Amino acid sequence: MNSFLIRWAINTLALYVAIAIVPGIHPESTRWFALLILGLIFGLLNAVVRPILKLLTCPLIMFTLGFFVLILNTLLFYLTGWLGSQFHFGFTVSNFWAAFLGALVTSAVSFVLTLLFKDELKKH
């Protein structure tokens, strides 16, 4: 349970940084509760939808030497904002490049925070 909460916090913070610094991403709500829900949605999409998409697009990922994974990350970032918007706490993305940059920022922040908390994540 503790590693779930750490991953949830990492996802939430990564989304907050992306929303805060990437132009073209506009939050519908600035409340911390909304960010927590977005972090949960993002984590669930990455845990459930991402493996299915990677399996279905495996030939394309191999053909592009892995670069298509960036497109999948962009799609999941955009989908997170859209799903959150359905409940009035998501974010809107103005164009593809804003979503792409948001996905890159989210991935980078998640990567760094996961490295910082890797001992706590491995305990459980």
Q: pLDDT tens, 83-101?
A: 999 988 889 999 999 999 9
Range of the domain at 26: 2-123
pLDDT at 1 over 80: no
pLDDT computed for residue 59 by the predictor: 94
Name the percent of the chain lying above pLDDT 70.
97
pTM above 0.85, yes or no: yes
Whether the Cβ atoms of residue 22 and residue 102 lie closer than 8 Å to each other: yes
Using DSSP's 3-state secondary structure scheme, residue 2 falls into helix
Name the percent of the chain lying above pLDDT 90.
81
Q: pLDDT tens, 9-24?
A: 999 999 999 999 999 9
The count of structural domains within the chain is: 1
Q: pLDDT tens, 17-69?
A: 999 999 999 998 888 899 999 999 999 999 999 999 999 999 999 999 999 99
